[in-house]
Structure 1
Amino acid sequence: MEIKTFSDLIGWTRQLHSYLAKYLADCSSKNEEERARLLLDYLAEHESKMEKMVAAFERQAEAEVMNTYIYDYLSHQPIQSNEIPYVQLGFDSICQEVFDYHQQVIELYRDLEEKAVIPEAKDLLGSLLAMEQHEAMLLVRQTGRMNDL
């Protein structure tokens, strides 16, 4: 997907969470390790919730901001979205891969927020960044609890 506007960026983020939710759910039934299956189910559900949160940003953001072009995105490294074989990974490896996806999205939003000139765009990016950071911390905490069991 080519990202030119804030609308494209938020749509791409929503699609990333949607893709991860479906892929993780699909891999869950195929992973041989029980803990990994439970983790994949949890992560799939969490990604699905994140997709809905991002969709809410799409609906609530001002049209003028959503149609604003993002020129600085072109200089940012694209998110690495390899087809990770979650079916073959264990608990810790799955966590690391999913955390990496989230960290890349956080870095993208952080970079764009720092470069934003329009106050409304800066606010939108700040809100998206805060949501992604909060949800990433929640994932780390919850998966840490799962690992303790």
Structure 2
Amino acid sequence: MTSQTARDVIDQTKAFHKKLGNFYQELSDKVERERVKILLEYMSRHHDNLAAIMDEYEESVSESILDTWFMYVHKECDLTPFFDANLGSDMTAQQVIKVAMELDQCLLETYEAMLQNEIPDNVSEVFQNMLEMEKQEKIALAKDALMIEDM
């Protein structure tokens, strides 16, 4: 069991998006294929934008909700696609998209797990909103990535 505040989870989500933004930018600097470079640069900006959105969202949530403590059984996100992916200078757009979808699924599963626990309704609403936002962003990312791949 893990104890955290809603603020902790939001901060971890922001850090996750920032880390992904940096990861994709570093990969973009290494790749040779122009489409893959464009895709990675887009994904870097996408995650930087999501981190900024989470900042704004956190500012809009009341302090009492952010400071609410709750316990949950935390299933660790499988970050092996993030760290162990065979993403080098010769990678394909399909490889990038696959890793991105696996990482986005990690966040969705985390929010869904939190919603399965008994948490106050006002906190549940925050995580439901975050889950819906991530679902929408995952769809948008997939669509945009496919458009870039088809260029």
TM-score higher than 0.5 here?
A: yes
Q: TM-score, normalised by structure 2?
A: 0.88
Offset from partner CA, 1:87-146 (integer Å, 9 cap, x none): 343210111111111111011111212324311011101111111111001001111112
AA at the equivalent of 1:87: G
> Does the CA-based 8 Å contact 2:39-2:149 persist in structure 1?
no
Aligned equivalent of 1:23: 23
**How much is the aligned-residue C-alpha RMSD, in angstroms?**
1.7
> Does the CA-based 8 Å contact 1:3-1:9 persist in structure 2?
no
Offset from partner CA, 1:44-87 (integer Å, 9 cap, x none): 01011101111112211111111112311xx2311223424533
**5+ residue gaps, structure 1:** none
Q: TM-score, normalised by structure 1?
A: 0.89
**5+ residue gaps, structure 2:** none
Take 1:32 and 1:116, find their aligned partners in 2: how far apart are those partners?
49
> Does the CA-based 8 Å contact 2:70-2:119 persist in structure 1?
no
> Does the CA-based 8 Å contact 1:24-1:86 persist in structure 2?
no
Q: May I ask how many residue pairs the two structures share in their alignment?
A: 146
Take 1:86 and 1:77, find their aligned partners in 2: how far apart are those partners?
26
Once the two structures are superposed, the pairs formed by residues 88-103 of structure 1 within 5 Å of their partners are 88=89, 89-103=91-105
- Say which is worse superposed, 37-46 or 81-90, in terms of deviation: 81-90
Take 2:20 and 2:11, find their aligned partners in 1: how far apart are those partners?
14
Instruction: State the structure with bigger RCO (CA 8 A, min sep 6), 1 or 2.
Output: 2
AA at the equivalent of 1:86: L
Identity of aligned residues (%): 18
Aligned equivalent of 1:70: 70
